[in-house]
Amino acid sequence: MTKPGEKKLAHLFQPGKIGKFETKNRVKYGACCVSNYNTRDGFITERELARTKVIAGTGSGIITNQGAYPDPKGEGKAYFRQIALFDDKFMPQFEKIAGYIHDNGGVAIQQILHAGRYGGIDLGYCIQPSVVPQTLPHFRPPREVSKEDIRQMVKEHAEAARRAVRAGFDGVEITSFMGYLLANFNSKFTNQRTDEYGGSVENRGRFMRELIYAIKDSIGEEHPLVVRLNGAELMDRWGGNSEDECFELMQMAGKSGLDMISVTVGWQEAPVSSIGRDVPPGHWNRLAARAKKLLPDIPIAFGVRLPDPVMANECIEKGDFDFWEVCRPLLADPELVRKAAEDRLDEVRPCLGDMLCLSRLFRDLPYLCTCNPALGHEVEPEYHIKPAAVKKKIMVIGAGPAGMEFAINAVKRGHEVTIFEKGDSLGGNLASYAAHDLANPEDLQKLLAQYKKMVEKLGIEVRLNTEVNPKLMRSILHKFDVAVVATGARIDLGGVPAAEQQGLVISALDAAAGNARLGSKVVVLGGGKIGLVLAEFLKTKGVDVTIVEKAKRIGEDVIPAWKWRHTSWVGGLKIPVLTGSGAQKIAGEGVTVINEKGEESFVAADTVIAAAPRKSNQELAQELEFMVDELHMIGDAVSPRGLYQAIHEGYRLGMRI
């Protein structure tokens, strides 16, 4: 029976085809690079198997397993815990993964990932077509490969592909995404050879063609080969390929006998963003449409910064591409495809594009997701929703992300929960933060909307405009077994010099909430994420803004993969920044600033926004200590941090209480 969402998204849920294989829908789960859940010597762990079992059950028509490096030396190894496929000894667990995918009706594809310029993590060097110095210091110095090396790499790719098929995978995928080996040969930035593998686009594409021919010979025509190729490198600063050259290579690949092209965008070294939430959803769709027009007879998969199944359905209907390739949105919510099929898109937990996953991955840590606390913990029973041993009546104090995350999961386990919120709406300070976000406010707003939907759906009682204090508690004593304090944090105005003029200094939280009138010249004290978001937003509205930050750098509390974005915005907007500095005096004319050398300067201002220091609202927890059986604190009430910690702490407490 056709489900209601399948009717609305008829093109997304129609059958597809890759090679000889029929797919149940037009969704391809992308490999998402690597998880870093595995062993240092390339073996798949139980943690990875548990995660992959969840991925296999997403309902995607095609499932691509994460990239395995194909060479015994480890020159292709990009991450400490990347899986390997250079020997038969690795095959048993690949067989399990292929089985999981087939058990759920999916077509199983194994990605082969040789990192090239970004590889050799255990070796202290990397290999490239040419010796081109690294632009990012954490990568290894390069060695140029010989023709003999090239022949060996092609052979190793073909042998790894054969192992994947022998392990039960239906096909294989090779990737140039993010600047890996295939991209290194294709790009004139890293390929400056003068032999038959370098120079013209035709010659630079020779390695790619040889890979395709060798792999197809190895696995047979009955097993499909997918190649991920850049529609745009975004490497103009370094002399990389133009978009026209990218598509010339794509056309070359299409004539070489592959079965699907996955269109990707960007390199790790690219100085502009490709997949973060600062890129509007659908921004890169034109690249997929160009690929489809260029290669009408080859299935095109695409999903770069396209998190919306409705948009994907429209693109398939228009003929822009054939398969919606999804990765991070399915990490954020593995039920995305099923919820879309059941017309429950308002219940989807969105991918925020905040790059927590990549921030951890690029530091060789297992990746996690801000919005999905269970990711990476699927193997642990305590991260699964189970009926509570004792059903309790719980009061949650504070309706920010931590409080709502806890409440939703506690109710799912059978507890009775009431949320108390002193404000007039759910969401806490996140709503104000989202409204000023230069990246893409809709992402954060979708998260808030999803929380509100689930609170409503689960019938959680909410008492707005209700401040919990000892007096209120005494009136409801013994009505609740548990109190969860999720009261967040505030700006500690006591940590800011007293202003000579009343009303000159305001809290960043009041400014974000629209509870204060701002002047035309603003000094923001604190260059952390709250101060940066406000300063950037105000500057776009024509306000003269200066940031004063005590640390040596701005963005010290920002997720690593986002620091550069704020630095770029601040620079692009020409916002003056005084680092290593603090406010010494605040008067009606402005702020006297003193730096770490003891030097004074004056910044004119008619409004001073205090965005630091942040202080946890813990006083209530102390007052409630002997007024309730169980007392817990979560989120910023414990320590001022961020959204990721708030959601994860709310989830973990909800799972165990």
* pLDDT 10s digits, 47-100: 999 999 999 999 999 999 999 999 999 999 999 999 999 999 999 999 999 999
C-alpha radius of gyration, the chain, whole number: 27
Question: How far is residue 595's CA from residue 551's CA, in Å, rounded to a whole number?
Answer: 10
Tens of pLDDT, residue by residue over 95-121, are 999 999 999 999 999 999 999 999 999
- The whole-number pLDDT of residue 67 equals 97
- The whole-number pLDDT of residue 614 equals 95
Tens of pLDDT, residue by residue over 557-605, are 998 888 989 999 999 999 999 999 999 999 989 999 999 999 999 999 9
Question: How far is residue 303's CA from residue 28's CA, in Å, rounded to a whole number?
Answer: 9
- The whole-number pLDDT of residue 433 equals 87
Return the number of other C-beta atoms located less than 10 Å from residue 280's C-beta. Answer: 11
Query: Bridge-partner residues for 388, per DSSP?
Result: none
pLDDT-flagged residues of the chain (< 50): none
Question: How far is residue 219's CA from residue 238's CA, in Å, rounded to a whole number?
Answer: 37
Nearest partner of 322 among 32, 12, 19, 24, judged by Cα: 12
Tokens of 372: 């999905």
Nearest-10 Cα torsion for 638, 642, 643, 644: -90
Residues 23, 59 contacting (CB under 8 angstroms):
no
Return the number of other C-beta atoms located less than 10 Å from residue 244's C-beta. Answer: 9
Nearest partner of 178 among 304, 334, 324, 321, judged by Cα: 304
- Residue located via tokens 């405009």: 465
3-class SS at 490? Answer: strand
Tokens of 556: 């010290």
Q: How far is CA 222 from CA 94, 137, 169, 225, 295, in A?
A: 20, 43, 12, 10, 21
Concatenate the DSSP letters of all residues of 518-543 into one string: --SEEEEE--SHHHHHHHHHHHHTT-
Question: How far is residue 601's CA from residue 149's CA, in Å, rounded to a whole number?
Answer: 60
**Geometric angle at alpha carbon 128, from 125 and 132, rounded to 5°:** 85
Concatenate the DSSP letters of all residues of 453-487 into one string: HHHHHTT-EEE-S----HHHHHHTTTS-SEEEE--
3-class SS at 199? Answer: coil
Question: How far is residue 296's CA from residue 158's CA, in Å, rounded to a whole number?
Answer: 27
Residues 5, 342 contacting (CB under 8 angstroms):
yes
Nearest partner of 284 among 300, 297, 302, judged by Cα: 302
Nearest partner of 247 among 287, 190, 282, 275, judged by Cα: 287
- The whole-number pLDDT of residue 622 equals 93
- Residue located via tokens 């925020």: 352
Strand 142-144 and strand 126-128: the pairing is: parallel
Nearest-10 Cα torsion for 335, 341, 343, 344: 0
3-class SS at 515? Answer: coil
Return the number of other C-beta atoms located less than 10 Å from residue 90's C-beta. Answer: 19
Peptide bond into 387 cis (omega under 30): no
Strand 600-604 and strand 590-595: the pairing is: antiparallel
3-class SS at 445? Answer: helix
Question: How far is residue 78's CA from residue 294's CA, in Å, rounded to a whole number?
Answer: 32
Q: What are phi and psi of 524, to 5 degrees?
A: -100, 120
Tens of pLDDT, residue by residue over 120-148, are 999 999 999 999 999 999 999 999 999 99
pTM, whole model, 2 decimals?
0.95
- The whole-number pLDDT of residue 441 equals 85
Residues 309, 12 contacting (CB under 8 angstroms):
yes
Residues in the chain: 657
Q: Is 449 exposed, middle or buried (CB count within 10 Å of its CB: 0-12, 13-18, 19+)?
A: middle
Nearest partner of 492 among 642, 610, 623, 619, judged by Cα: 610
Residues 237, 271 contacting (CB under 8 angstroms):
yes
- The whole-number pLDDT of residue 440 equals 84
Tens of pLDDT, residue by residue over 474-492, are 999 889 999 999 999 999 9
3-class SS at 477? Answer: coil
Question: How far is residue 607's CA from residue 316's CA, in Å, rounded to a whole number?
Answer: 51
Question: How far is residue 7's CA from residue 342's CA, in Å, rounded to a whole number?
Answer: 10
Residues 542, 625 contacting (CB under 8 angstroms):
no
Residues 265, 274 contacting (CB under 8 angstroms):
yes
Tokens of 406: 């806890």
Tokens of 458: 């689960």
Strand 590-595 and strand 581-587: the pairing is: antiparallel
The domains located in the chain, with CATH, are: 31-294 (3.20.20.70), 385-488+617-656 (3.40.50.720), 491-615 (3.50.50.60)
3-class SS at 62? Answer: strand
Residues 113, 69 contacting (CB under 8 angstroms):
yes
Query: Bridge-partner residues for 632, per DSSP?
Result: 484
What single letter denotes the amino acid at residue 178? M
